[in-house]
Amino acid sequence: MKTLFVGQNSIHVESVGSTNSYATEMMRQIELSEGSVIYSFSQLNGRGQRGNFWESEPNKNMALSIVLYPRFLSVDKQFLLTKMTSLAVSDLMAEILQDYNKSANVSIKWPNDIYVNDKKIAGILIENTLKETSIQSAVIGIGINVNQKEFNSTKGAVSLITLVELEFDLQNVLERLCEFFEARYLQLKSNKLERIDKAYLDRLYRIGTWADYRDEQGVFQGRITGVSTKGKLQLELKSGELKSFSLKEIGFI
């Protein structure tokens, strides 16, 4: 693996309920080095945002969790981990697809789902441990649809094999992801925040286009203008009003 630390300590689990849960339990027992990767090609009970279930056919897809100790980040900047991870996964998808499917448009659906055109190919779940004003540790869970051809419970899902009609070596995909992830994390540690912010907005799904959304008051039209430093989605309404939404306050239609 061509990395300095991400994935240098790799723990393969044949079958697991959730790699995030497995990693968290391991961290209670032993001290894992930064960049440790717990991965499985058979995740049975993957978790996503809002408590959603992540469907994954055994030995067809990739699920992993990366352990970080980003103590240089204050609590109010933890959304930078979401940006960085989303960029790393979308970097990988863009690299793979550029050679096989020129029409594929890779984007980040706020806050951290990875989309190809209008379908989800990867999901991210980040679980931070906070202490006072800093982030003590982070478990970065990533699930990628690789070689699964059919999806039963996940609406609008897509995989690499359905996009390019080629089967991929899961180990190779894992190693390349670790390389992209490390590059983005080192960017974050080097305080290149403007570069991260710009790249995230450039790849943000639906930014600058009018679309339908739903909040507690019903369906409305809005245009994404950006994301706040704390991760709230910023929209312009048809009336010209600007509003910000947290994860549970808005739904995409």
Domains in the chain (CATH in brackets) are 10-202 (3.30.930.10), 210-252 (2.30.30.100)
Comparing 1 with 190, the larger pLDDT belongs to 190
Burial class (CB in 10 A: 0-12, 13-18, 19+), 195: middle
CA-based R_g, the chain, Å: 18
Does position 196 have pLDDT exceeding 70, yes or no?
yes
Contact between 242 and 234 under an 8 Å Cβ cutoff? The reply is yes
Q: 100: pLDDT confidence band, cut at 50, 70 and 90?
A: confident
Q: Position of tokens 């699964």? A: 148
Count Cβ neighbours within 10 Å for each residue of 55-64 and write b for 16 or more, e otherwise. Answer: bbbeebbbbb
Picking from 11-15, 99-103, 237-241, which range would have the lowest pLDDT averaged per residue? 99-103
pLDDT for position 207: 98
Token pair belonging to 33: 């080095």
Comparing 224 with 103, the larger pLDDT belongs to 224
pTM for the model? 0.94
pLDDT for position 103: 86
Average pLDDT over residues 215-224: 97
Instruction: Report which of 231, 232, 209, 207 is spatially closest to residue 221, judged by C-alpha positions.
Output: 209
**pLDDT mean across residues, the chain:** 94
Half-sphere exposure of 31 (CA within 13 A, CB side): 2
Count Cβ neighbours within 10 Å for each residue of 106-130 and write b for 16 or more, e otherwise. Answer: bbbbbbbbbbbeebbbbbbbbebee
- 3-state class (DSSP) for residue 141: strand
pLDDT for position 47: 57
Does position 219 have pLDDT exceeding 70, yes or no?
yes
Instruction: Return all residues near 105 (Cβ < 8 A) that are at least 6 apart.
Output: 116, 117
pLDDT tens, residue by residue, 10-69: 999 999 999 999 999 999 999 999 999 999 998 886 555 555 555 668 899 999 999 999
Q: What is the percent of the chain where pLDDT is above 90?
A: 88
